[in-house]
Structure 1
Amino acid sequence: MIMAVFIHDTNIISPLGFSTDDNFQKILSGKSAIEQVFIDDKIGSVYAGKINEDLFNNHFQTINDDFKGSRIVKLLIAALSPIVEKNPLKNDSVLILSTTKGNIAALANNDLNAAFIDQLAKNINSYFGFKTEPIVVSNACTSGVVALSLAKRFIEMEQFTNAYVVAVDELTPFVVSGFQSFQAMSNEPCKPYDADRSGVNLGEAAVAVFVSNENRTESIQILGDANINDANHISGPSRTGEGLFLSIEKALNEAQITSDQIDYISAHGTATLFNDEMEAVAFNRLNLQNVPTNSLKGYFGHTLGASGLLETVITIESLKNNVLIPSFGYQQQGTTQQINIITKKGQKTLKTALKTASGFGGSNSAMILVKNVDHVRN
């Protein structure tokens, strides 16, 4: 018998706020973090989501007023601290870190050791006093969902009692210049799935969740998950959505449900021409085209390795509150195959959600989340 795995407490540090509730309430009010942000003299300004430095420093002082570590370490500490406070570590607790670039900013100071992602994970592991070695997931923009999948599978195999999954990426000149080289950046706030979309906005965030086999009243069960790489291209998605199609199909099979039992989809939705089209194709192949769907990139920007976990947390809040969140920036259909993009906030009884993510190198992920009311597999 497969052990059930649940997501419990969550926390978000983002430009919209420094808790899950702050972020969710801002989204419900229609607030977006996307604005013009100055990067450096060479790049200039771009539309992106950037955490206010003064506000964050004031917030961090309430957690630790004398810590002198790097900014990215502070972001992770701020995200994880309230989770650890509510869920004290056990001897077999494990830290799983999701990130795309980690402390890439350290390279500007020629601090090569600090730039290694495993060193970032070790720093956080040491700060909180984990007894086990940390695990790093860096699988492009699917990293956050993959990290949750990994936590689920380790707990199912009884390798660990629980897992603390944290995700982070910063808005840095290195990251911005990389996306500019792909000509993927929008010169205005992004519009996922819209006919007038012109590219992605970037963002930054740190997110933490606590995962265990304990069945609590307010918990969300991870009912199924899958991660498929279709190896289509170094950066371009499969035109048939093959990897995403297979990921969703496998996740549905593990969850032992069918597509008509999905109440809501939190999709990847980068607002690039090919990603949004690929997702529409994959959803239609699985008869999911009528399920209410949104992208959260218009609120936060694309937070890279943090995006999958960040958007999963907002999906959990949508499930708990039975609310559909509009896909910010969407006005008219921009994909060749119809999908049901949410255009206004609304109440709907929600039990089961699908979270998807896709990334460079052909990586694709899908996760089925269900409220702890039915469908619960023991």
Structure 2
Amino acid sequence: MQAAPGATPPERLEVLRSGLPPQAIGVSDQTGQRWPYMSRRRPDTTASFWADMAAVAEDALNAADLSDHARATLPVLLGSTCLDMPDLEAALHSQPQAPALMNAHCGRTLDQLATELGLGGPQFTLSTACSSAANALLHARRLLVAGRAEHVLVIGTEFYNRLTLSGFASLLLLSPDTFRPFDADREGLILGEAVGAMVLSRQPRDRGDLGRLLGGATGCDPSSPTNSSPEFLVRIMQQALDDAGLTTDDLLAIKAHGTGTPSNDAAEGAALDRLFGNRHPVTSLKPYFGHTLGACGLVELAGLLEAWSAGFLPATPGFRTLGSGEQMTPITQPHPLPAEGAVLCNSFGFGGNTTSLVVAR
């Protein structure tokens, strides 16, 4: 995985344990206004766009130790909102009069990546806003449970592009300085870029497994063009627990979506309070990674599992004061996690796209 906290698990663990997010850089939207942005590299270049995806996917394939035959038939799922938009923006910038979008289609990113890696199985591209990679993981699990595959490669990717940055700026959803999920003074989110990959398998391996995907649920709330209602969020989280065969009391903790935007945090906080009360520690990992949009469901899950393997749930940076009328308070110090148990992971997207996953160790 490549993301703002660091390229290697030890680097990420050091940041997640410290509770101190990495320093954001500054990028400009189309009006010239500067915004903080979470990135490990200069996001105004696409030089490593394809290389980063290929390298991270190859790392996941090598870790799974798949045979040549398994790779040749391996299903691949990609979750992203930007897809190859950085590449297309660069092409349009270099040749403004050229038909840069003539070769644009939703499957191009995954098709090119699978060809480069020699993967010949079915390809699925999911773009359901911020639940994209979480839905890719959920669909991968269903392929495995149905016996359609023995292994599935899932990739979550989000890279800097001017259109996304300017779009969020125009909606007044960007924070000018600090990420503060669930805090009374939250002002918005800080975008980030990341690429992560996981191989899901039907059977556990002798070593190297980070965890198990027990179940999940997804749905789209039609009640609003942008947000989900607390009632709908409660329904999806409960369905995820039912799919995993668990009750609310069986969880160790909850990884919230926690965008730091007023309406999203209010809806998720109300839903968490109604379903769980204060029985479980809750955290948001977005201050460490930035909001990586379509990739966040996989990238934050990977960070959670790495921290869990080290025995702790990371704190939520930036939280200071509970808002008026709100009940959900995230943890502000790292919380010990037992070696075995289950955690609920939320990815709630723009347009009401809502996904909850249940993972276990």
* TM-score, structure 1 as length reference: 0.86
Cα distance in structure 2, aligned partners of 1:101 and 1:153: 25
Match of 2:171 among 176, 182, 185: 182
Match of 2:264 among 275, 287, 290: 275
Deviation readout 1:14-64 (Å, 9 max, x if unpaired): 12222333222222233423424133673332111022249xx9xxxxxxx
- Contact 2:179/2:260, CA 8 A, preserved across alignment: yes
Q: Which runs of 4+ in 1 moved over 6 A?
A: none
Match of 2:55 among 61, 64, 78: 78
Q: 1:41 to 1:354 in 2, by over 3 A?
A: closer
Gaps of 5+ in 1: 1-11, 58-68, 372-378
Which range moves more in the overlay, 248-257 or 312-321?
A: 312-321
C-alpha deviation, 1:209, in angstroms: 0.6
Cα distance in structure 1, aligned partners of 2:228 and 2:3: 28
Match of 1:142 among 124, 131, 153: 131
Q: 2:281 maps to which residue?
A: 292
Q: 1:102 maps to which residue?
A: 83
Cα distance in structure 1, aligned partners of 2:276 and 2:175: 31
Match of 1:236 among 227, 233, 236: 227
Deviation readout 1:78-106 (Å, 9 max, x if unpaired): 21121122332504311111101111123
Q: SS of the residue aligned with 2:224?
A: coil
Match of 2:74 among 93, 111, 119: 93
Q: 2:346 maps to which residue?
A: 356
Q: 1:366 maps to which residue?
A: 356
- Counterpart AA for 2:84: N
Q: 1:160 to 1:43 in 2, by over 3 A?
A: farther
- Counterpart AA for 1:248: M
Asked if residue 224 in structure 1 is aligned to residue 215 in structure 2, the reply is yes
C-alpha deviation, 1:218, in angstroms: 4.9
Q: 1:303 maps to which residue?
A: 292
Q: SS of the residue aligned with 1:286?
A: helix
Match of 1:347 among 315, 326, 336: 336
Gaps of 5+ in 2: 93-99
- Counterpart AA for 1:94: P
C-alpha deviation, 1:324, in angstroms: 1.9
Match of 2:313 among 304, 320, 324: 324
- Contact 2:30/2:162, CA 8 A, preserved across alignment: no
- Contact 1:277/1:336, CA 8 A, preserved across alignment: no
* TM-score, structure 2 as length reference: 0.90
- Contact 1:101/1:117, CA 8 A, preserved across alignment: no
Q: 1:114 to 1:289 in 2, by over 3 A?
A: farther
C-alpha deviation, 1:113, in angstroms: 4.8
- Contact 1:185/1:199, CA 8 A, preserved across alignment: yes
C-alpha deviation, 1:288, in angstroms: 4.4
Q: 1:173 to 1:199 in 2, by over 3 A?
A: same
Match of 1:195 among 177, 184, 201: 184
Q: 2:110 maps to which residue?
A: 121
Which range moves more in the overlay, 309-318 or 141-150?
A: 309-318
- Counterpart AA for 2:354: N
Cα distance in structure 2, aligned partners of 1:160 and 1:188: 45
C-alpha deviation, 1:234, in angstroms: 2.1
- Contact 2:15/2:22, CA 8 A, preserved across alignment: no
- Counterpart AA for 1:227: T
- Counterpart AA for 1:82: D
Q: 2:95 maps to which residue?
A: none
Q: SS of the residue aligned with 1:316?
A: helix
C-alpha deviation, 1:345, in angstroms: 1.7
- Counterpart AA for 2:160: L
- Contact 1:319/1:352, CA 8 A, preserved across alignment: no
Cα distance in structure 2, aligned partners of 1:152 and 1:158: 10
Which range moves more in the overlay, 83-92 or 362-371?
A: 83-92
Q: 2:97 maps to which residue?
A: none
| Aligned alpha-carbon RMSD (Å) | 2.0
C-alpha deviation, 1:334, in angstroms: 2.5
- Contact 2:308/2:337, CA 8 A, preserved across alignment: no
- Counterpart AA for 2:330: I
